[in-house]
Amino acid sequence: MDIKITKSPTTRINEVDFDNLPFGRTFTDHIFVCEYYDGEWHNPRIEPFHNSTSTPGTMALHYGQAIFEGMKASIDDNGTPLLFRPERHAHRMNVSAARMCMPEFPEDLFVDALSKLVYIDQNWIPKEKGSALYIRPTMIATDEFFGVKPSQSYKFFIFTGPVGPYYTKPVRLWAETTYIRAAQGGTGFAKAAGNYAGALYPAKLAQDRGFDQLLWLDAKEFKYIQESGTMNVFFVINGVTITPPLSGTILDGVTRDCILEILRSEGKPVEEYAITIDEVVQAHKDGTLQEAFGAGTAAVVSHVADIGYKDMVMTLPPVSERKIGTYVKSVIDGLRAGTVTDKWGWIVPVQVEELVG
Ligand code: COI
């Protein structure tokens, strides 16, 4: 499908302080939009960034058919915009869509749309270390209806904005033993808006106790570690990097997958298994808990400072001793900056030919 492009006659870029970018408050000059009705996607287009209007009956607002992706674009020293694993994000969006009874969005159109959008707004890609152009593909149900059923119409849009780091210091996690994020058979693997809504209240309680985010445990026994509020989680115990497996209750994180690939390709010991909070407590007691870190597009790799669990707070070794987390972060940052050789084929340069071809 051809994408119609209408460029903005003006730009807001001069209003942005690129040296002091907060996360997620500034949006670029353009947006991609496409609508679904009569069983098909229609009218893909890039337009000047604008607000959406909607009726109070919009089904996404009532029954939560709303999914999204989080991606980043960077720019190399030659000024070429770079996307990071766009096909994998396009595919994951459709995994979420299937679970939420929403239509799939054509994966080639997804990649084409965001390539063109990033190309048009490439001046907005920050060059500062730790910054990037954050990309938010989103799909919402748009039928106007009181009843509960899958909507027949949807809106898909992609908008972007320059961002600084999501976490500016190592995070304090609270291992949650009252509330749950996801149970087997639920929607935990989907990037569905409701998953985040349900986490806000328990996360607020943890923040009131002085923690930044939750460390979710399984819904049945509060024993097996799942993920953190905005990230997948990794532990380094006795030299082995461990992360919970993709069991249907956690997000299939793109950064998580990169970290596993990077470490495996270098022959470092890595295990995906259902690690328990008790193992983490024991490792902390016997001095073998070397690192814990979160991984996600927004968070990249964020070291964990402490983990609160029941009546204890486990403080991890200083960041200066964290070899694995620091190393994988440097590889991912280097790939994004174009300074580390991409032997995995994850970086997709945005080519001008794609636009004119
Ligand atoms: C991302 O890492 O891109 C996400 O979507 C997480 C979000 C909570 C910022």
Q: Are strands 171-175 and 40-48 parallel, antiparallel or unpaired?
A: unpaired
* Residue bearing the CA closest to ligand 1, atom 6: 230
Helices (H), the chain: 59-63, 86-99, 107-120, 193-208, 254-265, 277-285, 323-337, 352-356
Structure tokens at 10: 């003006």
Amino acid 352: pLDDT: 60
Instruction: Tell me, in angstroms, the distance from the centre of ligand 1 to residue 300's CA.
Output: 10
* Non-local CB neighbours of 353 within 8 Å, separated by 6+ positions: none
Let me know if residue 90 belongs to a domain.
yes
For residue 166, give the ligand 1 atom closest to its CA: 9
Q: 294 and 322 share a domain?
A: yes
Low-confidence ranges of the chain (pLDDT < 50): 356-357
* Residue bearing the CA closest to ligand 1, atom 5: 70
β-bridge mates for residue 206, sequence order: none
Last residue of a domain, one of 137, 165, 193: 165
β-bridge mates for residue 235, sequence order: 242, 292
For residue 253, give the ligand 1 atom closest to its CA: 2
For residue 299, give the ligand 1 atom closest to its CA: 2
Amino acid 357: pLDDT: 43
Amino acid 274: pLDDT: 97
Q: 187 and 263 share a domain?
A: yes
Structure tokens at 148: 């509960």
Q: 268 and 205 share a domain?
A: yes
Q: Of the candidates 36, 50, 13, which has an alpha carbon nearest to the alpha carbon of residue 159? A: 50
Q: Is the distance from CB of 160 to CB of 73 less than 8 angstroms?
A: yes
Q: 206 and 294 share a domain?
A: yes
Let me know if residue 175 belongs to a domain.
yes
Structure tokens at 142: 């748009």
Report in angstroms the alpha-carbon separations of 243 from 79, 171, 240: 36, 17, 10
Let me know if residue 344 belongs to a domain.
no
Question: What residue type is assigned to position 262 of the chain?
Answer: I
Ligand 1 in contact with 70 (CB < 6 A)?
yes
Let me know if residue 343 belongs to a domain.
no
Amino acid 351: pLDDT: 81
For 32-59, the pLDDT digits (tens) are 999 999 999 999 999 999 999 899 999 9
Q: 157 and 176 share a domain?
A: no
Q: 113 and 221 share a domain?
A: no
Q: 11 and 158 share a domain?
A: yes
What is the Cα–Cα distance from 252 to 244, expressed in whole angstroms?
A: 11
How many domains is the chain built from? 2
Q: 207 and 151 share a domain?
A: no
Instruction: Tell me, in angstroms, the distance from the centre of ligand 1 to residue 196's CA.
Output: 10
Amino acid 129: pLDDT: 84
Let me know if residue 350 belongs to a domain.
no
What is the Cα–Cα distance from 86 to 111, expressed in whole angstroms?
A: 6
Amino acid 229: pLDDT: 87
State the residue range of the domain holding 77. 4-165
228: CATH:
3.20.10.10
Q: 159 and 178 share a domain?
A: no
Q: Is the distance from CB of 306 to CB of 313 less than 8 angstroms?
A: yes
Report in angstroms the alpha-carbon separations of 126 from 85, 132, 163, 164, 337: 19, 5, 8, 9, 11
Let me know if residue 353 belongs to a domain.
no
Q: 150 and 175 share a domain?
A: no
Amino acid 355: pLDDT: 59
Ligand 1 in contact with 297 (CB < 6 A)?
yes
Sign of CA dihedral 103, 108, 114, 117: negative
Let me know if residue 126 belongs to a domain.
yes
β-bridge mates for residue 155, sequence order: 35, 140
What is the Cα–Cα distance from 21 to 168, expressed in whole angstroms?
A: 12
Structure tokens at 136: 């938010």
Ligand 1 in contact with 253 (CB < 6 A)?
no
* Residue bearing the CA closest to ligand 1, atom 3: 70
For 205-243, the pLDDT digits (tens) are 999 999 999 999 999 999 999 999 899 999 999 999 999
99: CATH:
3.30.470.10
Last residue of a domain, one of 124, 144, 165: 165
What is the Cα–Cα distance from 315 to 255, expressed in whole angstroms?
A: 25
Q: Taking the CB of residue 34, how many other CB atoms lie within 10 A of it?
A: 22
Kindly report the backbone phi and psi dihedral angles of residue 187, in degrees, each rounded to the nearest multiple of 5, phi listed first: -110, 15
Q: Is the distance from CB of 265 to CB of 334 less than 8 angstroms?
A: no
Q: Is the distance from CB of 70 to CB of 296 less than 8 angstroms?
A: yes
Last residue of a domain, one of 116, 139, 165: 165
Structure tokens at 115: 């390539």
Q: 289 and 218 share a domain?
A: yes
Q: Is the distance from CB of 162 to CB of 131 less than 8 angstroms?
A: yes
Task: Determine whether 205 is exposed, middle or buried from the number of CB atoms within 10 Å of its CB (0-12, 13-18, 19+).
Answer: middle
What is the Cα–Cα distance from 293 to 234, expressed in whole angstroms?
A: 5
Let me know if residue 352 belongs to a domain.
no
* Residue showing tokens 């799939």: 104
Q: Is the distance from CB of 100 to CB of 67 less than 8 angstroms?
A: yes
Q: Is the distance from CB of 66 to CB of 194 less than 8 angstroms?
A: yes
Amino acid 73: pLDDT: 98
Q: 59 and 200 share a domain?
A: no
